[in-house]
């Protein structure tokens, strides 16, 4: 695989990670107004937005899997944990511990290592 194409596929996988994280964020916000009544889910803007972001992430990821190896792309999707944390801090005002930040550094290191040449 050419280096330029590989970089493009990794970038697309990163976008999928962001979309998946946005889906989680919308699920969290929408969860405040859901019950066991299915209508509370269907008519909840945030839950529906979360489903849309998840669906987009899934569709785009499946398409990029046609072109690149799963072992290259999936670690990039793991960065969704980091995106969720960033969105949680700035949008819903959650706080993170030092151990959380250490874990994120480990994820970034692992993703970097997996993207190196074989």
Binned at pLDDT 50, 70 and 90, residue 17 comes out as: very high
Query: Nearest CA to 15 among 52, 45, 65, 56?
Result: 56
Rounded average pLDDT over 27-39: 95
Q: Are 65 and 73 in contact (CB under 8 A)?
A: yes
Nearest Cα neighbor of 28 from 104, 100, 88 is 88
The predicted pLDDT at position 118 comes to 55
What's the pLDDT tens digit per position in 36-93? Answer: 999 999 999 999 999 999 999 999 999 999 999 998 898 889 889 899 999 999 999 9
Q: Quickly count: other Cβ atoms within 10 Å of residue 1's Cβ.
A: 10
In the prediction, which pLDDT does 40 show?
93
Mean pLDDT over 89-115 rounds to 90
Helix count and strand count (H, E) for the chain: 6, 0
């Amino acid at each position: 695989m050419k280096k330029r194409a590989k970089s493009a596929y990794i970038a697309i996988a990163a976008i999928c990670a962001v979309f998946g994280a946005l889906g989680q964020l919308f699920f969290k916000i929408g969860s405040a107004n859901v019950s066991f009544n299915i209508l509370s889910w269907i008519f909840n803007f945030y839950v529906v937005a979360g489903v849309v972001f998840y669906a987009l992430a899934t569709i785009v990821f499946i398409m990029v899997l046609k072109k690149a190896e799963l072992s290259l792309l999936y670690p990039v999707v793991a960065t969704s944990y980091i995106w969720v944390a960033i969105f949680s801090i700035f949008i819903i005002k959650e706080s993170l511990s030092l151990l959380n930040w250490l874990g994120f550094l480990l994820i970034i290191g692992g993703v970097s290592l997996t993207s190196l040449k074989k």
